[in-house]
Structure formats: C-alpha cells, structure tokens
Structure 1
Amino acid sequence: MPGKQYTLLDADRRPYLSATPGALGGHRRSRIYGRLDCPGALRHIAAGGYVTNRVFFADVETAVAAGYRPCAVCLRVEYRAWKAQQRG
C-alpha cells in the first residue's frame, strides 16, 4: 500500500504529488506564501475561508520562483526585504 501523497506546486505553478508534505503554505489568489502555522492564515481558515485557494510548496525558492511573495504576518523580515526590493 503506497504512503500518503501530498499535492505541492512547482516553480511553474503546476501541481505535483510528493511523499513529503509541503514546508510552506500559500494562497493561490493573493500569491502569498508563509509558514503552515501562520496566525493570519489560520484565522482565515477558522472563519471558513482560504481553504479552496490553499497551495503548498516544498521550499521558499519554489514559492518565490512561482511568483509568490512572503507573508507580512508570519515572515515579517522576509516581507520587509521583499517590499524594499519592490521599491528599488
């Protein structure tokens, strides 16, 4: 019997199956990625939203390559660096 499979996104935003769960979660519509325990995402999920647009990534590099930006809630330092780069 095969083990559990997880659906992750690759750098081209294509889903693929992985035996390893994603290290990061994201929101497809807003193109934001963050920690799986992000308080902001968990609030949205608890309120019944977010889940249909939830995606997962293996690592930061893949999330960034897919065009996602860091979450301002759970990845403040990374978000500030991203924001400064946008102003650049």
Structure 2
Amino acid sequence: MYHHDRLGKDAGERRLLLRRYIRSGEISLGGYKKAKIYGLLTCSSGKKMKVANRVFFRDEVEALQHGYRPCGHCMPEKYKQWKGQLLQK
C-alpha cells in the first residue's frame, strides 16, 4: 500500500512517481483511508479526495488484505457482493 502524501517531497515529485507506478503496474487501484474504501483510479469520487486521505494498491487482493471494501460508485458489482456477505453474517 502506498500513501499518496508519502510518495515524494512535493506535489511534482508525487505526480511523477505516481505516473511511474501506474505505468509499471505497481498501482492499479486507489483508496480512501478514512472510510477504508478502494476503487478504480478513474473514479470521480476518488479524484475529489485530499492527498492526505489517498492510498494506492497493486491489486484488489492487497486492498482486501488491508481491510478495504469496494467503492459502490465505480465498482457496483463488487460492492453488491461485499454488501451481500455482510448481510449473511
């Protein structure tokens, strides 16, 4: 898991490193650490959050291992599955 605010010394360095990690496949999902939600990097909800609250994951397995749940906005099917599992408990 990568914390956006720890990727570099300033916004420019963070932007460069983030692009490099996305292109190399080290990052494929973003997350909101306050609510422990993960979603697609293209999600409009995720783009609105503060840098201090943003985290990134290599894949869905990593996000789930850290206790994050799918975003209902950009991953509705995954969210429905997650919600269904909660209701069964």
Q: Considering the TM-score relative to the shorter chain, is it more than 0.5? A: yes
* Cα offset, 1:8, TM superposition: 2.3
- What is the number of residues matched between the two proteins? 71
Aligned to 1:71: 71
* Structure whose residues are more often helix by fraction: 2
Question: Does 2:35 match 1:41?
Answer: no
Name the SS of the counterpart of 1:83 in structure 2.
helix
Aligned-pair CA distance for 1:50: 2.6
Match of 2:2 in 1: 8
Looking at secondary structure, tell me which structure has more strand per residue: 1
Match of 1:31 in 2: 36
Q: Equivalents in 2 of 1:72, 1:37: separation in Å?
A: 14
Aligned to 2:34, what secondary structure does the other structure show? coil
Is 1:59 matched with 2:59? yes
Deviates more, 1:59-68 or 1:33-42: 33-42
Query: Structure 1: which 4+ aligned runs deviate by more than 3 Å?
Result: none
Task: State the one-letter code of the partner of 2:62.
Answer: T
Give per-residue Cα distances to partners, 1:24-56, cap 9 Å, x unaligned. Answer: 0001111000000002122x2xxxx43211000
The residue type equivalent to 1:39 in the other structure is S
Partners of 2:83 and 2:51 in 1: CA distance: 26
Q: Does 1:20 align with 2:21?
A: yes
- TM-score of the pair, normalised by structure 1: 0.70
TM-score (normalizing by structure 2): 0.69
Identity %: 38
Offset of residue 65 of structure 1: 0.7
